[in-house]
Amino acid sequence: MRLLVFDPFRGAAGDMVTGALLHLGADREATIAAMASVVGEPGISHVDRVGIKGILVKTHATPVRRTFPEIISRVQNAQAPDRAIAMAIRVFERIERAEKEIHGHTDHFHEVGADDAVAEVVGACTAFLSLRVDGCVILPVMLGGGSITGSHGTYPVPAPATLSLLRESDLLVRFGTPEDGELCTPTGAALLSEFSTGHSLRNLACSVAHSGYGAGTKNPPHIPNVLRAMIVESTEDREPDDVDVLETNIDDVSAEILAYTFSRLMDEGAYDVSAIPCTMKKGRPGHLVRVVAASGEGGRFAAMMAEELGTLGIRSVPAVHRFTAERSIREIPVTIQGEERKIRVKCGMLQGRIISLKAEYEDVSAWARDLGIPARTVARITESQAWTSIGKSA
């Protein structure tokens, strides 16, 4: 298994994503050609950011604001692989949904509607696909802090479009200080959201095959303004068979605290967290909280549960064997109402035979909104066509 890992410890922008991918060894010629077909040949240079060597990408685009149809037309006419064009369109569809959520319309895109953003997205998608990875893990994204000034005046970081994009995705984030300014742009958030197949390597044993850095335009003196990326390789294709199972009963914790605890446990690498309604002694309503973690990690997660929930007793069953089917994510072409899109489908396999196919929620919900039909209809059609195209041949 070959995974691409982004570590946005100083945020992400379109130029930084493209630079990091090129530094990793993405197809430079194809990426430059794709970007050049939008705004002219970009500048690709090696720079230093506080001792870290990275690649800086400059599109040389002039400021301009375009409508969504104009942007899609430019993307469709780019000299890029069909899959890269389709991916770039999905990126801008994410941005359009964010703009509509904020403004109620998308007469013109604002900071993300310029030709430099179009070139960066097309270039990043071309570079990403050229690496031919099996998945992409996005570590927590640093958003920055303070405020920025845009088309609608001054507003706090993250920008409204960035916040909307991150809310739709499953990316984890961190907030910085006012001195940081904006570290994650809408374009960067949209690209990482599109690439992501997960946000944790958990306990996966792997080796680092390549590393690269995409440089930002600013060069602060005390911290490298770069987006770090890695390609890691592993012979493990699933989570370990042995797990620790932790359980505790609670009846005096608010829903907000419970939700925060769930998020923290998952962020720290728990495989699964659940709460089952139950009736406790004296007829009190409560919840049975169950956590599944890697074998040997039970003590660490029990301490977190005690700290966050205030529970005084946690049952721990170590080294429980569990069955796990093999799994993978595949993109398949799906046609609905005469329109074709590539939709990600999670495949469950047993001894090489596919036993389950489930369409990815983000792809399904986005297309359902565009088509104006129920999400379950899109999911049903997608999974039906997935069984036809890959299920029977597996």
Where on the phi/psi map is residue 31: left (φ > 0), alpha (ψ -120 to 50), or beta?
Answer: alpha
* pLDDT tens-digit map of 9-46: 999 999 999 999 999 999 999 999 999 999 889 999 99
Domains of the chain are 2-233 (no CATH), 242-321 (3.30.70.1380), 326-391 (3.10.20.300)
- Lowest mean pLDDT of 230-239, 260-269, 281-290, 378-387, name the range: 230-239
Query: 394 pLDDT band (50/70/90 cuts)?
Result: very low
Query: 375 pLDDT band (50/70/90 cuts)?
Result: very high
Distance (Å, whole) CA 143 – CA 8 = 9
- Lowest mean pLDDT of 91-100, 108-117, 306-315, name the range: 108-117
pLDDT value for 109: 60
Q: Which of 36-50, 56-70, 377-391 has the highest mean pLDDT?
A: 36-50
Task: Please list the helix, strand and coil fractions of the chain in percent, rounded to the nearest 5, in that order.
Answer: 35, 30, 30
pLDDT value for 108: 55
DSSP β-ladder status, 147-150 and 153-156: antiparallel
Sorted by sequence, the CB contacts under 8 Å of residue 300 that are 6+ apart come out as: 268, 293
pLDDT value for 63: 76
CA 37, 38, 43, 47 torsion-angle sign: negative
Does 113 score more than 60 pLDDT? no
Query: 135 pLDDT band (50/70/90 cuts)?
Result: confident
Distance (Å, whole) CA 189 – CA 191 = 6
Helices 160-168, 82-103: inter-axial angle, 10-degree rounding: 120
Distance (Å, whole) CA 116 – CA 114 = 5
DSSP β-ladder status, 272-279 and 285-294: antiparallel
Closest CA to 68 of 32, 28, 113: 113
Which residue stretches of 196-289 are H helix? 255-267
pLDDT value for 72: 93
Does 393 score more than 50 pLDDT? no
| Residue 218 one-letter amino acid | K
pLDDT value for 131: 94
Q: Which of 11-15, 170-174, 340-344 has the highest mean pLDDT?
A: 11-15
CB 39 within 8 A of CB 115: yes
The full DSSP string for 5-63 is EEE-BTBB-HHHHHHHHHHHT--HHHHHHHHHHHHSPPEEEEEEETTEEEEEEE--PPP
Q: What is the mean pLDDT of residues 297-326?
A: 85
Does 345 score more than 80 pLDDT? yes
Does 157 score more than 90 pLDDT? no
What average pLDDT does the structure give for the chain? 88
% of the chain residues with pLDDT over 90:
59
Q: What is the mean pLDDT of residues 155-170?
A: 87
Distance (Å, whole) CA 21 – CA 317 = 43
Distance (Å, whole) CA 334 – CA 315 = 46
CB 86 within 8 A of CB 186: no
Question: 3-class DSSP state for residue 186?
Answer: helix
% of the chain residues with pLDDT over 70:
92
pLDDT value for 37: 95
Q: What is the mean pLDDT of residues 300-322?
A: 87
pLDDT value for 240: 53
Sorted by sequence, the CB contacts under 8 Å of residue 190 that are 6+ apart come out as: 91, 92, 94, 95, 98, 112, 121, 165
pLDDT value for 11: 96
Query: 257 pLDDT band (50/70/90 cuts)?
Result: very high
The full DSSP string for 137-169 is EEPPEE-B-SEEEETTEEEESSPHHHHHHHHHS
* pLDDT tens-digit map of 199-248: 777 667 889 999 999 999 999 998 999 999 999 987 654 555 678 999 99
